[in-house]
Amino acid sequence: MKDYQVGYIKLALPKGRFLWPTASLLGEIGLGLSGYSDKTKQYRLRSTRFPDLSAKILQEKDIPIQVAVGNYDLGICGSDWIEELVMKYPAGSLVKISSLSYGEGGIYAVTSAQAGIANLDDLLARRNDCRIVSEYPNLAEALALNLRMRRFRIFPVWGAAEVYPPENADLAVLWGKSAAHIAKQGLIPLKKLLPVTAFLIANRESLESKDLSRILTCFNSQLSAEPQISIENELDISKELNIPCPLWPAKEINLALPDGHQQAPTAQFLKQAGLAVQGYSEGGVSRRPSADLDWLGIKVIRPQDMPLQVANGNFDLAITGEDWLREHLYRFPSSPVKKLFALGFGTVKIVAAVSQGMPVRNIADLRAFVQSSPDYIGAPLKVASEYVNIADKYLRDNRISPYRLIPTWGASEAFLPEDADILIDNTQTGKTLKEHNLKIIDVLFQSSACLIANKNSLRSPGKKEKTAFLTEKLRAGLK
Amino acid sequence: MRDLLPEDMVRFRRIEDVFRACCCSWGYREVRTPTLEYLHLFTATGTLTPGMLGKVYSFLDWDGWSGERVVLRPDGTIPVARLYIDNMSGQKFARLFYVTNIFAFEGTGKQNRERWQCGAEFFGGARPAADVETILLAAEVIRKLGLNAVELRLSHAGLVKALLKEFSLSPAEEVKMTSRILEGDWHALAKAKCPNPEVGRLVAALLALKGKSSSFLHNVKASFPKASPDFKDSLEDLISISTLLDNQGCQYKIDIAAAHGFEYYTGVCFQFLAAGEKIGGGGRYDNLVPLMNGGSIPACGFALYVDPIMKLVPLEKEKKGKSGILVKGEELNPETVKACFALAESLRDTGYSAEIDFTGRDESDFRWVILVSRNKPSPFVVKDCVRRRPRYSGASLEEVLKVVSEG
């Protein structure tokens, strides 16, 4: 399977925010890659101009890692995800070739206007520890270390970092269009860590030994002459920002509701249960919808983050998927999070799948295959999954050895067969897997939306009655 | 990642044994701290630099949902200071020592991620006598290990801090400059522009000159009368320490650049170098215990780095090559096996090391080989592998022991 790659120049292209500007850039410089759009259902692109150039569309977050490990020679992604990687692994094999002419906003350290912190000195003067929430845990850690914070805790999240301060975090490290844009959300930008622009990056080994010149020449006209961005570039933040200071009083009971795919069915479920939540069911814009119950606080966050946020007591109850609950419990078996009941929607299967071409039908075959044909897959077995703890446990339980996990941010099917040998991911019908020439070799479990709770909240005298009331109200939605 | 093979362990144990014996004879007592510690122990200002903290192996604990992280011990001194505060703070003085491994993330894959050190800490020890005590103890260990051409370099964290202050840097710039200096980049300071030209001259002089006795420091004091009071205080401290070392006949070089590595030092700092490599270092850290809420307890200490020392430490010659006794059973039958084990036990009880073999092992590594068979009346034949004497056969157990003991 490795032979497929020899002689090819491989380019990793981003999904999401940079897809359109990148597609238009590639059109201009004439790489001849057609089909790079958000409507495309395929991940692999071939160049009509350069027969040895191939490209793959990946989640932007995955691109720096994939280029660093050498699965791709070149890649395009935002400076934020590059810095997030090199901050922790500075001696890695990632080379920033140049910034491209597009990008927007920057990564900021922000706090809530309500927290009474006006600048970094105020933050550092506080006696208690600093809770930092971020999609960029390495950038957040570097910030905390450089500020010489005496005690801090970092909570990595999959998204929605802006909704955590002030109740659930003291500081958030997040992307914002501008300081004013951040201020509009009731947050104070304390420090701009770096501007976000798209970068052309390369694998060091490829750059040192492989002829990439024809492709790099095409980029020439677009390579920006600006100095390379480093994390130390600090821009002035205007003190004249007009920051609204909304009042978010602490509530007795806190509920987390999911955004994304789960939002519409969850809204429908709440309606069935007779719980009116304003700012959620309308396909909502609000991260803080409200209910008629004055003691109930609601926040909309990523379902992936909920078990941990319930465990640490930020929320008493949450609606998430059983997959994410298991992912959490496999990592932290003594966590105080508990499933109360399934809600009957959002049902998916968590499966193990391999490429059609791999001669295995089930996990036992795979085990034998890994042991007998290490050359075929180039041991260790590479496993792509967004559920790293579930995948880890599954492979351990099934005595697959050796293996290496490649954490992904969804769409693991794009990794097979070139960049991974097996995926562990969710599927509703199995259709997408089939379309990408993959076959399911095992179903790990079935998962659907469920109500989870913090065990301590269920027992605590101050919360017991109201959590029971809310739980019963939601249970009514099942009928 | 590195394995320590039998030869390496001989060297390792020798270093450890000499170190332990010296420390015990100076009244230090051994302690051991856990491999896992809480991260926050190391994050406060004045403990580890951000650069070093960027290289710790840290991960979530079993209750990781709380965000609390633990680390593989990245430093030897801070955990021992914690141990002292948690368990011994009632004692005004504590002389402690340890042999421990420390862990640092290593991006290139070329260096060890796990390093061993032998360290001693003196809590409550006031300057300058305690500083001199730790330096002399470290020097004694180095001498007893038989290391040659070891250079002692002295500096003073107070001098460095006083000089930095003169540059009137912003707090952020000062933090950056401190980190660079602690990482060994003194050029940064030499290049920085100082508002006071006198200080520029002083920095240049201190970087260029290497004093060899306390007289040098007196000369510095006389040449720069306008130096800041902080600088002068630290200079006096270093003068008193170097004078005591002069009196002890201890040789050293004064090298301001020898202050690097740890942010927690407040007073004298020292390094030992051999064959161009740092083999140890230490200093005074009076703020560390107060910073960790342990009260105002002054302290100083040092650590010797086992890994570079292992490459330098000479081994006793007789240990190499021929040693020990091979008890060789000619056949694998119950009677012979029993006789072999009984003989080996007697030999061990008498203080020899005896290895048993039934497979025709190579005899060249051994001092003696004793063949064991079913022959009557005596089953033993003794071969002298060094002096090539004729075999001594038909021996009884007592006779075998006698032959071996007579060499």
Query: What is the b/e burial string over A132-160, where b = at least 16 CB atoms within 10 angstroms of the residue's CB?
Result: bbbbbbbbbbbbbbbbbbbbbbbbbbbeb
The nearest CA of chain A is from the CA of B9 a distance in Å of 31
User: First-to-last CA distance in chain A?
Assistant: 51
A126-130, B319-323, B360-364: the lowest-pLDDT one: B319-323
Residue B192's pLDDT band (boundaries 50, 70, 90)?
confident
Give me the CATH code for the A2-103+196-222 domain, please: 3.40.190.10
Of the candidates B62, B107, B175, which has its C-beta nearest A332's C-beta?
Answer: B62
CATH 2.20.25.90 corresponds to the domain B322-406: no
Reported as a single tens digit per residue, the pLDDT across B116-139 is: 999 999 999 988 999 999 999 999
- The 3-state DSSP class for residue B1 equals coil
Highest mean pLDDT among A294-303, A405-414, B52-61: A294-303
CB pair distance less than 8 Å for A91 and B107: yes
| CATH fold of the domain at B6-312 | BirA Bifunctional Protein; domain 2 (3.30.930)
Q: How far is CA A424 from CA A354, A436, B285, in A?
A: 9, 15, 52
Query: Cα distance from A310 to chain B (closest Cα, Å)?
Result: 9
Burial B371-407 (b: 16+ CB within 10 A, else e): bbbeeeeebbbbbbbeeeeeebeebeeeebbebbeee
Q: In the predicted model, what is the mean pLDDT of residues A432-460?
A: 95
By C-alpha distance, the chain B residue nearest A146 is B50
Cβ contacts of A89 on chain B, cutoff 8 Å? 107
Asked if the model's pLDDT at residue B83 lies above 80, the reply is: yes
- pTM of the prediction? 0.84
Over chain B, what is the mean pLDDT? Answer: 88
User: Has residue B40 got a pLDDT over 80?
Assistant: yes
- The stretch B297-314 carries a mean pLDDT of 95
Q: Is residue A458 over pLDDT 50?
A: yes
CB contact under 8 A, A92 and B107: yes
| Per-residue model confidence (pLDDT) at position A89 | 83
> Which one of B50, B67, B69 has the shortest CB-CB distance to A312?
B67
CATH topology of domain A348-447: D-Maltodextrin-Binding Protein; domain 2 (3.40.190)
| Segment 138-197 of chain B within 8 Å of chain A by CB | 175
Q: Taking residues A62-88, report their average pLDDT.
A: 93
Instruction: Give the least confident one: A370-384, B92-106, B147-161.
Output: A370-384
> Which ranges in chain B are annotated with CATH 3.30.930.10?
6-312
CB atoms B108 and A328 under 8 Å: no
Task: Reply yes or no on domain A106-194 having CATH 3.90.650.10.
Answer: no
Size of interface A-B (CB pairs under 8 A): 59
Residue in the block written with tokens 């064991």 = B372
Mean pLDDT, residues A163-175: 94
Residue A235 pLDDT > 70: no
> Please, which pLDDT band fits residue A240 given cuts at 50, 70 and 90?
low
The one-letter amino acid code at A257 reads L
Residues 141-200 of A with CB under 8 A from B: 142, 144-146, 148-155
Residues B374-390: what's their mean pLDDT? Answer: 81
Residue B397: what are its φ and ψ, rounded to 5°? -55, -45
Stretch A358-381: mean pLDDT: 84
- Residue A234: is its pLDDT beyond 90? no
Q: Is B64 on the interface with A (CB under 8 A)?
A: yes
Band (pLDDT 50/70/90 cuts) for residue A231 is very low
Residue B387: per-residue pLDDT = 80
Q: Quick one: pLDDT band at residue B373, thresholds 50, 70, 90?
A: confident
Q: Which residues of A touch B65 (CB under 8 A)?
A: 307-308, 311-312, 328, 332, 335, 337
| pLDDT band, residue A233 (cuts 50/70/90) | very low
- pLDDT on residue A229: 46
Q: Is some CB atom of chain A closer than 8 A to the CB atom of B293?
A: no
Q: Do B43 and A144 touch (CB under 8 A)?
A: yes
Query: Which chain A residues are Cβ-neighbours of B63 within 8 angstroms?
Result: 332, 334-335
| Minimum distance, in Å, between the CA of residue A149 and any CA atom of chain B | 6
Query: Distance (Å, rounded) from C-alpha A423 to C-alpha A16?
Result: 22
Residue of B246 and A418 predicted with greater confidence: B246
Checking if the pLDDT of A230 tops 60, the result is no
More confident residue, A282 or A97: A97
Across A161-165, B316-320, B361-365, B400-404, least confident range = B316-320
- Please provide the average confidence, as pLDDT, over all residues in chain A: 88
**Cα distance from A192 to chain B (closest Cα, Å)?**
15
Tell me the pLDDT tens digit for each residue of B134-185. 999 999 999 999 998 999 999 999 998 898 888 888 877 887 888 788 777 8
Q: Mutate which of A139, A146, A310, A389 to disrupt the B interface (most B C-beta within 10 Å)?
A: A146
SS3 of B40, please?
helix
pLDDT of residue B166: 87
Report d(CA A87, CA A264) in Å as an integer: 38
pLDDT of A227 reads 46
**Which chain A residues have a beta carbon less than 8 Å from that of B60?**
331-332
Element (H, E) at B329: strand B325-329
Phi, psi of B97 (to 5 degrees): -140, 165
pLDDT at A124: 78
For residue B198, the SS3 value is helix
Q: Judge whether residue A239 has pLDDT over 80.
A: no
Each residue of A16-67: pLDDT tens digit? 999 999 999 999 888 888 889 877 777 889 898 998 999 999 999 999 999 9
| Rounded mean pLDDT, B270-274 | 95
B107/A153 touch (CB, cutoff 8 Å), yes or no:
no
CA dist A131 → A238, A332, B65, B182, B227 (Å): 25, 20, 12, 29, 44
Strand partners, A449: A321
| CA nearest neighbour of A303 among A427, A160, A439 | A160
Any CB–CB contact under 8 A between A331 and chain B? yes
* Predicted pLDDT at B261: 67
Predicted pLDDT at A469:
95
Tell me the C-alpha distance between A299 and A277, whole Å: 11
For testing contact with chain B, the best of A121, A148, A191, A314 (most B CBs within 10 A)? A148
Which pLDDT band holds residue B319 (cuts at 50, 70, 90)?
low
Contact status of A131 with chain B (Cβ, < 8 Å) = yes
Q: What is the mean pLDDT of residues A224-253?
A: 60
Quickly name the fold that domain A253-346+449-478 has: D-Maltodextrin-Binding Protein; domain 2 (3.40.190)
Residue A432 confidence (pLDDT) above 50:
yes
Which of the pair, B184 or A402, is modelled with greater confidence? A402
> Does B62 reach chain A within 8 Å, measured CB to CB?
yes
Return the sign of the alpha-carbon dihedral for residues B225, B231, B232, B236.
negative
Provide the residue ranges of all domains of chain A, joining segments of one domain with +. Answer: 2-103+196-222, 106-194, 253-346+449-478, 348-447
Asked whether A410 and A60 are in contact (CB, 8 A), the reply is no
Report whether pLDDT(A232) > 70.
Answer: no
Model confidence band, residue B322 (pLDDT cutoffs 50, 70, 90): low
Return residues 1-60 of B near A (CB < 8 Å). 40, 43-45, 50, 53-54, 60
A109 touches chain B (CB under 8 A): no
CATH 3.40.50.800 boundaries in chain B? 322-406
Q: Give the mean model confidence (pLDDT) for residues B379-407.
A: 81
Token couple for B303: 């650590």
What whole-number distance in Å separates Cα of residue A223 and Cα of residue B20?
62
Inter-chain touch A332–B45, beta carbons under 8 Å: no
Question: Considering only CB atoms, which chain B residues are within 8 Å of A145?
Answer: 43, 50, 53-54
Q: Where are the beta strands (DSSP E) in A127-276?
A: 130-134, 152-156, 171-176, 187-195, 198-203, 253-258
**How would residue A4 be classed by pLDDT, with cut points 50, 70 and 90?**
very low
Q: For residues B121 and B298, what is the distance between their CA atoms, to the nearest angstrom?
A: 11
| Cα A10 off chain centre by | 24
